[in-house]
Amino acid sequence: MISSTGSETMQIRDMIVEDIPQLAELYRQFWGDASDLAKMKTTFLELQKRNSHLFLSAVEGDELIGTIMGIVCEELYGECRPFLLIENLIVDKKHRRKGAARKLLAELECLVRQRNCWQMILVTEADREDACAFYKANGFQLNNAGFKKKLHPAK
């Protein structure tokens, strides 16, 4: 376990492979798409071996209530300090506004500060006003433009 939180039951810890089925459900809840559990487990185990990916889970007992993924990217600019790309910060609908996302984000920031990262970057949809307000309240600046291009598999 990485840390306990102020909540009596919520804990933030490293993600484990046993979290994958519940993670797939969180992704389905958020995006509406089913996930390939076998592929998720294989990929998770491969990424876990690398020093570049960080996966955290917010749990209450055996229930996965939220997750976050961070990817540490090397930099060739300036002092060549790494930066973090944040992906897939998701909290179960019935557990939102109880501090899980804030605690996941804070724990991830603590970990990447130890890795000498100089900034954290994320992209969210501009029309997700609640998410934008959350990130601003947690110290992220909205003075940049983020762009995303979805790529479809080659045929």
pLDDT at 8: 58
Euclidean distance between the first and the last CA atom of the chain, given in angstroms as a whole number = 43
Percent helix, strand and coil across the chain, each rounded to 5?
A: 35, 25, 40
Joined together, the tokens standing for residue 129 give 């006003």
pLDDT at 7: 47
Joined together, the tokens standing for residue 101 give 């996302």
- The two most distant CA atoms of the chain are separated, in Å, by 51
pLDDT at 62: 92
The topology (CATH level 3) of 3-137 is Aminopeptidase (3.40.630)
Q: List the chain residues with pLDDT less than 50.
A: 1, 3-7
CB burial readout 90-115, b (16+ within 10 A) else e: bbbeebeebbbbebbbebbbebbeee
Question: Over the stretch 28-54, which tens digit does the pLDDT of each residue have?
Answer: 998 888 999 999 999 999 999 998 999
pLDDT at 131: 82
Candidates 24, 7, 25, 139; CA nearest to 86 is 139
pLDDT at 25: 95
Candidates 45, 46, 55; CA nearest to 14 is 55
